[in-house]
């Protein structure tokens, strides 16, 4: 049974993403406590022209054209998904 649990657990997360790198981006999460977090994704190749992406406990996904996480967190623009602007539901 223990082997089955390990096999099932392997399906719960993406190993590549868990390494902090995936799809040409480097991912990082910080400032985690009971109710706060910041997550960022920066291009793995600097000055590649790719955007950086970020989010926090507010739930809005933002991006910065300069590819820098610090810019994204400070004043990134909200990302549109499909035909709608992504924002968390109102409380």
Q: Convert the pLDDT of each residue in 40-79 to its tens digit.
A: 999 999 989 999 999 999 889 999 999 999 999 999 999 8
Residue 64 lies in a domain: yes
* CA neighbours closer than 13 Å in the CB half-sphere of residue 66: 9
Instruction: Give the closest residue to 38 by CA, choosing from 78, 5, 69.
Output: 69
> Does the pLDDT of residue 19 top 60, yes or no?
yes
Instruction: Give the closest residue to 76 by CA, choosing from 41, 33, 25.
Output: 41
Average pLDDT score over residue span 72-87: 76
Residue 5 lies in a domain: no
Number of structural domains (the chain) is: 1
User: What pTM value is reported for the model?
Assistant: 0.73
49 is in which domain, residue-wise? 16-85
Q: Quick one: what percent of the chain has pLDDT higher than 90?
A: 56
């Amino acid at each position: 049974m223990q082997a089955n649990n390990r096999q099932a657990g392997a399906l719960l997360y993406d190993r590549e993403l868990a390494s902090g790198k995936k799809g040409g981006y480097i991912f990082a999460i910080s400032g985690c406590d009971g109710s706060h977090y910041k997550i960022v994704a920066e291009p793995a190749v600097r000055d590649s022209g790719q955007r950086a992406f970020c989010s926090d406990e507010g739930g809005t996904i933002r991006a910065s054209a300069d590819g820098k996480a610090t810019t994204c967190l400070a004043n990134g623009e909200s990302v549109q998904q499909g035909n709608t602007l992504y924002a968390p539901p109102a409380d």
